[in-house]
Amino acid sequence: MTIIEERAANPAAGDDNRPIGYGRIQRKEDPRFVRGKGHYVDDIVLPGMLHGAILRSPVAHARLVSIDTSAALAHPGVVAVITGQDLLGLKLAWAPTLSADVQAVLATDKVRFQGQEVAFVIAEDRYAARDALELIEVDYDVLPPVIDVRTALNPGTPVIRDDIEGRTDNHIFDWEAGNAAETEAVFASADVVVSQEMVYLACIRHRWRPAGPSPTMSRSRAR
């Protein structure tokens, strides 16, 4: 037996002029969640829907000697296995990113960080897609990684982005904002100047909420 308590409406909730954060806003979605009636991307089932799985590199820096996808393609339920070379032939292997740079959609010549995408499996269900990942054989020629940003520009350090013509070091780009002259003047006139070196680990983006795509295609339109 489920009992849902009816509560009086919050008078502050309908006031458009109330300060942000003022007044208790009652949640409306809790009853369906606590009863197991939530609906998520993972619950969506569409006619003819396919599932994908990504093979990622276990090493941080290596040349791709070969990728054998034949066993994965022969696995029951697998529709396609895509590699960087497949995308390269379609001119889709590289995507634009920050500071007019590009990044690999799937690795073509080598992997440049641990976990980089190497192959993509499309299958009729998630289990076939995951199983097929284990059937892909990748021959990696492992190279020395760069693990310390403080030594990344030192002479002799392996160059990660050697795909860029003329690149001889790991200097990616320069970025600045504000007025350099005024900033230097402020520091020069300050009674005390404190300097500190701060090392950040991985900087990645996180969604604010669980989200996922479920695209559909038809002859007349695409969503």
Share of the chain above pLDDT 70, in %: 78
Task: Say whether pLDDT at 21 is over 50.
Answer: yes
Q: pLDDT at position 97, please?
A: 86
The contacts of residue 68 (CB under 8 Å, 6+ apart) are: 136, 137, 138
Sign of CA dihedral 156, 204, 86, 75: positive
Mean pLDDT value across residues 30-58: 89
The pLDDT of residue 67: 97
CA distance 61 to 194: 37
Q: What per-residue confidence (pLDDT) applies to 203?
A: 62
The stretch 25-48 carries a mean pLDDT of 83
pTM of the model: 0.73
* pLDDT tens by residue, 81-93: 999 999 998 999 9
SS3 35: coil
Residue owning tokens 């970025």: 175
Confidence of residue 3 (pLDDT cuts 50, 70, 90): low
pLDDT over 80 at 16, yes or no: no
Which residue is associated with the tokens 């990645």?
204
Q: Which helix (H) or strand (E) holds 63?
A: strand 62-68
Confidence (pLDDT) at 131: 97
- Reading the block at residue 94, the tokens are 């590289």
Q: Classify residue 217 by its DSSP letter.
A: B
Residues 6+ apart with CB under 8 A from 124: 50, 51, 77, 78, 79
Joined tokens for residue 174: 């320069």
**Is the pLDDT confidence value at 222 over 50?**
no
CA atoms within 13 A on the CB side of 208: 0
On the question of pLDDT at 8 being above 60, the answer is no
Q: How confident is the model at residue 223 (pLDDT cuts 50, 70, 90)?
A: very low
